[in-house]
Each structure stands twice: as C-alpha cells, then as structure tokens.
C-alpha cells in the first residue's frame, strides 16, 4: 500500500474533469497539488466521441435565440421534471462557457463571414449549437484542454488507475479514496478533503451503447457505496441513431445534427415514417424518435432502419460530417447510396449522484460533475448538446466554490478510515483465468438490461432483471482476485440494480422512461404530481412559478 496527499483529487478525465483541472490550476492556491485520476488513458472516455456540439445561447450575435427560449426547450424535452433553477443557471452561463473555451484555445466553426456558425438539433426551437471541425466537437475540446493542462506544473496525472473506494469517516465526511493501478498492480491510499467524481456514464451495462468500454458507472457506484444520495436513476437515454454494427461493444454515433441538417429516417422500403409518431418528425425529442425506430423495426421485422442523407447531398454531407463519413468507411458502409443503417443505442444517463448547484453531494467534501452527476438539468430526457454545456458550467461553478471554501487535506492514517485502507493491504493479484468468467457475467448483465430495462419496460421484465442482477452479484463473490475488471463488474451491477429499482417505482411513462404497462404520460412539475400534460406545455406559467 502506498500513501499520498493532495489538496484536490479529480476522478475522471473527460471534459468536466479536464475543464475543472485547468481552471483550478490557474489559481496556484493549492499547496498539496491537484491530482487527476483516469481509469484508462486520456481520450478513452465519452467526451472525445461527442459529435454534435455544445449549446451556446448568445443573443447578441445570434438574435434568433434567447435564454428564455433555451429554458423552454430544455424543460419541454425533460417533460417538466427538470430543476428549474439549474436550467436557468446553465442557460445563463452558456455564453461565459463559450468564451472560456475559446480563451483556452478551442476553435469553433465559423461561416463565410467568419461569424460563429450555429446549427440546429432536435427539439431546439432555433439554431444554437456551436461545433468544431464539423462533427468533432468533443474531440477538439478535449484535445485543447489536455494540451493546456500539460503545461500546468501543479497538476499530476495518474492514468490506468481505478478508483476502488471512497474513504468516508463516521461523520459521513469524505477524506480521500483508495485507488488501484492495474498496470503495475499496486494500491494507493490518497488523502484529500476535496474529492470530485467526474467518471462519466453507465452505457456498458447495456449491449448496444455509444459509450466506450470505460463507461461502467464507477462514480455512481462509488458514491452510493459511500452513502451518497442518487436520483433519477430510471432515466436512461437511448440515442435514436447509432451506426448499425454487429458484435461491437461500443457503437459509433451518427449525430443528431445530421437530422438537423435535413437527413430523414426511412424504413428498408424507403418509406418516411417519423412524421407518423410526432409533429416534429425526425427532430422530435430523442425518446420519441428512439421509440419510433424501435417500433418500426418490430413492425417490419428488420434489424435496423436507414438514415437518408440524400437531401443534404453526399458531398455536402462529407464536408459537414467528416467523422461520420470516416466511421461509415471504417465499417464498409457506402455513402454513395445515400443511406446509413442506424438503430437506437444507450447513449446518456440523466440520473446519477444527486448534487446541488455547487456540485456538492450529500457526503461532506465529496463532489460530482459531468454525466455521473444528477444536477436536475435534464429532467426525464436530455435536450441535445446540453451535456457538454452542463459539464463545463458545473466545473466552472465548482472551481469558484472550492476557491472560496478551501479545506485542508486530512492527516495521514486517520483512525476513522484506517479499517477501510487495511483491507486492501496484501490483496491477491488478478489471475488471468478469471477474465473469461467475469466477461460471461458481464455479457449476461448486458443482455438482461437490453432485453428488459431498455427503451420499453414492463413490471414483469423489470422484476426478471432484478432477479438476474441479484444472481449475478452472488456469482461475482466467487471471483477472489482483485482487478480492474472485477471492480467494473461490481460497479455495473450496483448501477443496474439502482436503475431497475427506480424503474419499478415509477409507475408511469415519462421521457426516456417508458412503461408499456403504464403508457399514460403522468407528468410531475417541481415535485407536484399528477398535473396534466397540457399544463407542462404552458412554459411561461411554469417559469413564473
């Protein structure tokens, strides 16, 4: 066991973690330094895969837009279950975030007049999405933040290092964490009174997901095991258009921006069907489009539908969407046909660790930002391109809070957390012959979640899923040797259990949570239950409240 002490520890190296690390590093105020822990390597998370862009409400240069308009769109997509204060904060600070990212060196695309180029995405009432190199926004932002961070002398990076457990004393105060360097096979107890979880999503609990292999719900599980509150666990968003690829653990995303630019969903006979499900057709909220595709696949007994890009023009499409073009080429899809095969896949998690407007969890000195945090911004369904904005806004706010409320790192060998540390001393190393067994268990979890806790749910299916998850937990106990894979499976089972239990409790259909046995869309606004859906559509009255 190794021991260390840092003023601040950030777990996760996506855009939320990188943005926060960069902002904190500028202050030079943290005498014990800042540590950034990442489970794999930089660029291995979801942030670099974000194609569409980042919401930026800047009425002074985009006069068709307004904060009020963005607030209404966000609430409408979230079915009124959003935290209205959070929505207001995020929308109002979006202009600042765009300025800060450009100050860091991010170059957003501009039009022929060299003005910022805003694009339209589904469920937005006007073009307000900034993008970079067409459909490479996440990658460009992450590369820029990483390059800037490499110049900071007060930030240290631990890569290929798995966070195993938070060190929480009897007063429910976080005093650090235990990590496992799986490349060199050693544990380290890190003392810190500022631990920030920025670990991303939960996509790998599903068979079909756009998330990379590292997205196993680690942060949510760590916080839950430490006694932190979680919220909105039933709300799992399925992106309507993942590139149809067989036998891939991570499915490439076909950005919603493609439909914003004019692409249309058609079945394998070429019939345009989205207009049959919603008046916004292809640009309806994601949960609506995902269910429409899911139903169309079932009706036609096919494995996928097509995205018809012919109205954009093949050459125009290649220029506007170079990342998608390359993904199609890499998967032997000929764009000259004008058709891209797509299916829905798990994409984003609206639930997670419950935090306040300063990213504080219910455990003292523990914070959460990014996809693993539940800020209340998204409600029952995330509005497109609000996610990168949320990452940066809450990282910005948390930086300000930590600067104004400094907390010294705790002393080493604090007796209240010694027992937690001791159990990791002299742990047996992982044995290769158990890798396959863990994979079998993980595959069973993925199949169960996909079949019974996916786009359409029923009580019978959810109860079957819960029974299977409990069985998998018991079988996991026979894995005697610690490893990255074992911790990931443990975390994934914890998160899957929480998702299923939350889905069982919500006996209505709203947003991304659709119960076939309770199809009525019972809407809740500001915790006031059973309001009619018509009330939710009157956003001026909601905002006035």
The per-residue pLDDT for 533 is: 34
Q: Is the pLDDT of residue 525 over 60?
A: no
The per-residue pLDDT for 432 is: 62
Mean pLDDT score, 355-379: 97
Own/partner long-range contacts of 95-104 (Cβ < 8 Å, ≥24 apart) = 95/56, 95/57, 95/58, 96/396, 97/54, 97/56, 97/389, 97/392, 97/393, 97/396, 98/54, 98/56, 98/58, 98/130, 100/392, 100/396, 101/54, 101/141, 101/144, 101/392, 104/22, 104/144, 104/145, 104/148
The per-residue pLDDT for 412 is: 62
CA distances from 47 to 138, 149, 210, 277, 517 (A): 5, 16, 11, 31, 35
Q: Is the pLDDT of residue 346 over 90?
A: yes
Beta-carbon neighbour count of residue 478 at 10 Å? 9
Q: Is the pLDDT of residue 7 over 90?
A: yes
Residues of the chain with CATH 3.50.50.60: 2-234+350-404
Beta-carbon neighbour count of residue 170 at 10 Å? 7
Is residue 286 annotated as part of the catalytic site, yes or no? yes
φ, ψ (nearest 5 deg) of residue 71: -60, -45
Picking from 380, 375, 329, 323, the residue whose alpha carbon sits closest to that of residue 352 is: 375
Share of the chain above pLDDT 90, in %: 74
Do residues 179 and 169 lie in contact, with contact meaning Cβ atoms separated by under 8 Å?
Answer: no
Separation of CA 159 from chain center: 20
For the stretch 483-521, pLDDT in tens is 899 999 999 999 999 999 999 999 999 999 999 999 876
Q: List, as one string, the DSSP characters of 147-173.
A: HHHTT-TTEEEE-SEEEEEEEE-TTSB
Fold of 240-345: Flavocytochrome C3; Chain A, domain 1 (3.90.700)
Q: Is 220 helix (H, G, I), strand (E, B) or coil?
A: helix
The per-residue pLDDT for 413 is: 57
The pLDDT confidence band at residue 530, using thresholds 50, 70 and 90, is very low
Higher pLDDT, 334 or 539: 334
Write down the catalytic residue from 128, 286, 291, 457: 286
**How far is residue 124's CA from residue 73's CA, in Å, rounded to a whole number?**
6
The per-residue pLDDT for 433 is: 66
- Element of type H or E holding 391: helix 386-404
Q: Is the pLDDT of residue 537 over 60?
A: no
Considering the four listed CATH numbers 3.50.50.60, 3.40.50.2000, 3.30.390.10, 3.60.10.10, the one that applies to the domain covering 2-234+350-404 is: 3.50.50.60
Lowest mean pLDDT among 101-105, 187-191, 405-409: 405-409
Q: Which two tokens stand for residue 537?
A: 């559509």
Q: Which two tokens stand for residue 174?
A: 């976080």
Q: Is the pLDDT of residue 331 over 60?
A: yes
The per-residue pLDDT for 529 is: 39
**How far is residue 80's CA from residue 289's CA, in Å, rounded to a whole number?**
19
149 CB contacts (<8 Å, ≥6 apart)?
18, 21, 22, 25, 36, 155
For the stretch 152-206, pLDDT in tens is 999 999 999 999 999 999 889 999 999 999 999 899 999 999 999 999 999 999 9
Q: Where would I find the H helices in 301-352?
A: 314-320, 322-330
Do residues 194 and 178 lie in contact, with contact meaning Cβ atoms separated by under 8 Å?
Answer: no
Q: Is the pLDDT of residue 536 over 50?
A: no
Do residues 344 and 290 lie in contact, with contact meaning Cβ atoms separated by under 8 Å?
Answer: yes
Mean pLDDT score, 348-355: 97
* Full-model pTM: 0.90
Strands 118-119 and 264-266: unpaired
**How far is residue 372's CA from residue 381's CA, in Å, rounded to a whole number?**
15
The pLDDT confidence band at residue 44, using thresholds 50, 70 and 90, is confident
CA distances from 177 to 34, 197, 214, 228, 277 (A): 14, 11, 19, 14, 48
Residues of the chain with CATH 3.90.700.10: 240-345
Separation of CA 150 from chain center: 25
CA distances from 318 to 44, 105, 139, 325, 384 (A): 25, 25, 18, 6, 22
Picking from 14, 83, 70, the residue whose alpha carbon sits closest to that of residue 355 is: 83
Higher pLDDT, 501 or 252: 501
The pLDDT confidence band at residue 51, using thresholds 50, 70 and 90, is confident
Q: List, as one string, the DSSP characters of 253-306.
A: B--THHHHTT-EEE-TT--B-GGGT-TTGGGS-HHHHHHHHHHHHHHHT-S-EE
């Amino acid at each position: 066991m190794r021991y260390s002490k840092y003023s601040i520890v950030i777990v996760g190296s996506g855009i939320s973690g990188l943005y926060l690390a960069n902002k904190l590093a500028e202050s030079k105020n943290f005498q014990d330094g800042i540590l950034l822990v990442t489970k794999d390597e930089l660029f291995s998370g979801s942030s670099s895969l974000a194609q569409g862009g980042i919401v930026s409400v800047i009425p002074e240069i985009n006069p068709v837009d307004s904060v009020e308009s963005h607030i209404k769109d966000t609430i409408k997509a979230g079915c009124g279950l959003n935290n209205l204060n959070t929505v207001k904060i995020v929308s109002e600070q979006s202009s600042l975030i765009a300025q800060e990212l450009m100050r860091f060196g991010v170059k957003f695309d501009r039009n022929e007049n060299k003005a910022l180029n805003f694009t339209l995405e589904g469920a937005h009432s006007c073009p307000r999405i900034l993008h970079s190199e067409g459909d490479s926004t996440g990658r460009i932002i992450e590369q820029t933040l990483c390059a800037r961070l490499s110049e900071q002398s007060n930030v240290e990076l631990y890569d290929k290092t798995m966070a195993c457990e938070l060190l929480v004393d009897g007063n429910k105060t976080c005093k650090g964490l235990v990590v496992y360097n799986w490349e060199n096979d050693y544990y380290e107890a890190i003392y810190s009174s500022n631990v920030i979880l920025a670990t991303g999503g939960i996509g790998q609990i599903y068979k079909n997901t756009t998330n990379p292999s590292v997205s196993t719900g680690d942060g949510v599980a760590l916080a839950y095991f430490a006694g932190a509150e979680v919220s909105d666990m039933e709300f799992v968003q399925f992106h309507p258009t993942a590139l149809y690829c067989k036998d891939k653990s991570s499915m490439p995303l076909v950005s919603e921006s493609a439909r914003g630019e004019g692409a249309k969903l058609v079945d394998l006979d070429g019939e345009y069907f989205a207009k049959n499900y919603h008046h916004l057709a292809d640009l309806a909220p994601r949960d609506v489009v995902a269910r429409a595709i899911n139903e169309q696949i079932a009706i036609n007994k096919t494995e996928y539908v097509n995205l018809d890009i012919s109205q954009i023009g093949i050459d125009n499409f290649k220029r506007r969407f170079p990342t998608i073009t390359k993904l199609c080429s890499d998967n032997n899809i000929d764009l000259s046909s004008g058709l891209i095969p797509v299916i829905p896949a798990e994409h984003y998690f609206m639930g997670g660790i419950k935090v306040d407007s300063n990213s504080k969890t219910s455990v003292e000195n523990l914070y959460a930002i990014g996809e693993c945090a539940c800020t209340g911004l998204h409600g029952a369904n995330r509005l497109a391109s609000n996610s990168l904005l949320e990452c940066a806004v809450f990282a910005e706010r948390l930086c300000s809070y930590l600067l104004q409320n400094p907390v010294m790192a705790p002393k080493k060998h604090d007796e209240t957390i010694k027992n937690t540390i001791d159990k990791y001393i002299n742990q047996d190393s992982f044995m290769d012959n158990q890798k396959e067994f863990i994979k079998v268990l993980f595959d069973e979890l993925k199949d169960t979640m996909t079949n019974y806790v996916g786009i359409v749910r029923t009580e019978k299916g959810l109860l079957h899923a819960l029974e299977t998850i409990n069985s998998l937990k018991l079988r996991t106990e026979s894995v005697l040797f610690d490893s990255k894979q074992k911790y990931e499976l443990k975390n994934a089972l914890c998160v899957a259990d929480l998702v299923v239990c939350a889905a069982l409790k919500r006996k209505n259909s709203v947003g991304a949570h659709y119960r076939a046995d309770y199809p009525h869309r019972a809407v809740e606004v500001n915790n006031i239950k059973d309001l009619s859906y018509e009330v939710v559509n009157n956003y001026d009255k909601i905002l006035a409240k």
